[in-house]
Amino acid sequence: MLQRRRLIAAAVALTMTMPIAGVAQQGPDPRPRPDLVRGPYNEADAAFMQGMIPHHAQAVVMAKMAPTHGASESLRILCERILVAQSDEITSMRNWLRDRGQMVPAADATHHTHIMNGVAHDMLMPGMLTPEEMAALDKARGPEWDRLFLIGMIKHHQGALKMVDDLFEAYGALQDDEMFKFASDVYADQTTEIDFMQKMLDALPGRK
């Protein structure tokens, strides 16, 4: 299974020079469409989607800082791509949950609400930055912002890969073709971006 995911990731190339489309404006949530559900799903599938929405939402917050925090041109381009891709995926995940009658986190939720013994607990998903790390990123400017962003987003993406790995290990998960494709795409795209960001980080002044 791991080898298959690595092959998927290796086959996907991130084209950094393609034109970037704008982020679509958010309108009212569409009505549920249970007739669109084509395959079985289980609790692990739904929990993955519910946890990945705030995970993506934090990445969107981070990427939106680039124009106001003195990011380099190359990093601004990367942030715009992250912003567009992850905003679109948030919409897709919320639609997936809505069509199946599951709890749908807000598009801008940056904490995952987990219910345990009837009590709601806010938690950060794997790789997400702590409030202190987000504050440090917000305070930084210029090359220091670039450095903290790359370190933070690499960690962030690695957390997403762990979430995908955990889903692949969950019994009965990924039987739905749409779910399998989405999780595989997340793994491939974020693996490619990690490699790209690591090269950017290594190229920063003062890094060996």
| Cβ neighbours, 10 Å, residue 56 | 24
Using DSSP, how many helices (H) and how many strands (E) does the chain show?
Answer: 6, 2
Three-state SS at 100: coil
One pLDDT digit (tens) per residue for the chain, 208 residues: 544 444 443 433 333 434 344 444 456 677 767 666 667 889 999 999 999 999 999 999 999 999 999 999 999 999 999 999 999 999 999 999 999 999 999 999 887 666 555 555 567 899 999 999 999 999 999 999 999 999 999 999 999 999 999 999 999 999 999 999 999 999 999 999 999 999 999 999 876 5
**Of 133, 159, 168, whose CA–CA distance to 62 is shortest?**
133
Asked whether 65 and 145 are in contact (CB, 8 A), the reply is yes
pTM for the model:
0.81
What domains are there in the chain, each with its CATH number? 39-111+121-202 (1.20.1260.10)
